[in-house]
Chain A
């Protein structure tokens, strides 16, 4: 009996263990392929020069620049709206209310919408409806009613809204109710309580959401390919109304549209390596921020 149980236990350890090994192996293969295929392309020029000769030579600087540009606008749009929504849902809204439940359900459903749908929505809503409407009322054409960084970033923002909201709500939930009560009992207003007691403790959780949002925004192609990302641009974008190149889309374009795929593959591999390194280091930054604010909080700063 005892022996049987031990064997059963060992089998289960073996099964779960091999699942872990499998995952680790897959990750190692993916990373290995990209690193081996891409590291030779990496150089200072690769990161600071534009691509040349129909994407068979040169660097990826415009794609990095465009990505940073669009992610900044995305953050400016998504963080305030997302954090405000979460604060309302968690701190102000009455939990039992039907409207609250509806909003929360809507947020969860928004998270489940495929990213390509966001892309099409951005095209229809931002570019044609809002952009076209703006152009019409300003009496011009083709300024706002065309794909550009602004609309692509807003589309990304929309897609990442649930992530920020959920992360913020999670962070707010982690703040003990007793501390809110303590602040209110001292004659702090609701907002003062949120501002001076709740938010300082929620910041690390919110930052985690922000970092995840950046990672996800950097990796997504579908929402931006109709709304602003360009196939190839000979110049850098200057205004939010310009089109832009971005790393994810650039990789897609290089691997599918290159006139000389053998010459392009190392560049595409290098670009992929850069994208991966960026998202990994972003996650690292997130972890550092989180543990730093946590230890600061524990010290009571």
Chain B
């Protein structure tokens, strides 16, 4: 019963951008309640792979996919899948903080408000509070919930964006280099947060920073030129890579 531990299964997944193959035959299992890092040189397709998991690539013209990505055993590219529902189960945090020009409260409440059943419209206050606490930003913003999220620093904005994703109660959280636009202190806070969030969520993080992958992830996938070169436990892979290309990349011979 593999699927029990592997919430996400990527099987023979390829992605074409017009005629170009951007991802080629990728197969990997992403274990539940762990942090899986996707690393690789720029342009290797790591963000593309990440964005395939919540079907954000569909926003780009000329993208076609082959193969399967299974979430809880069901192919997310299947015919019966409602992409809106999928994105509520698979949250995303972007490279640059992208809060809406609304209040902090409204940012976090947004996903809940957009939900079909209008769940918890009455305990919205509670949802916002618990999400902000979970994202370790509550103490910094509790007195200014109705001020604009745009007034916050980059690191605070990114944590509000994480809170915003958590408020929808996703199962999986995708993070696309979530700290690359932040200073070292803000980065440390985000990493600490990721470490705590994996108790509850399955996290996939794209990073170009090897140390970051080592610090936060349990498993690592190394991608190059759209192909999966190696996948395994982070400890093992960074200390004793099984593939020559991986070794060359992590020792900084290219990148």
Contact = CB atoms under 8 A, between A and B. Distances in A.
Pairing of A with B: yes
A287 B118 CA distance: 38
B103 interface: yes
A298 B87 contact: no
B150 A179 contact: no
Interface stretch (B29-37, B107-115, B219-227): B107-115
Interface residues of A, number: 25
B96 interface: yes
Of the four ranges (under 10, 10 to 19, 20 to 34, 35 or more), the interface on chain B belongs to 20 to 34
B148 A187 contact: no
Nearest to A97: B61
B85 interface: yes
A176 B98 contact: yes
Interface string B87-105: 1100110101011111100
Contacts of B39: none
A94 B96 CA distance: 26
Interface stretch (A63-71, A132-140, A189-197, A239-247): A189-197
B61 A95 contact: yes
Interface stretch (B160-168, B186-194, B207-215, B237-245): B160-168
A300 B103 contact: yes
A189 B111 CA distance: 10
B100 A178 contact: no
A300 B110 contact: no
A96 B61 contact: yes
Interface string A166-195: 000000000010111111111111001000
A264 interface: no
Contact of B111 (A94, A95, A186, A299): A186
Given A185-B94, A187-B85, 17 more contacts: A94-B61, A178-B98, A180-B59, A186-B91, A186-B110, A186-B164, A186-B168, A187-B84, A187-B88, A187-B168, A188-B111, A192-B114, A196-B110, A196-B113, A300-B102, A300-B149, A301-B102
Interface of B: 54, 56, 59, 61-62, 84-85, 87-88, 91-92, 94, 96, 98-103, 106, 110-111, 113-115, 147-151, 161, 164-165, 168
8 contacts: A178-B98, A183-B110, A184-B56, A187-B114, A188-B110, A189-B84, A189-B114, A196-B113
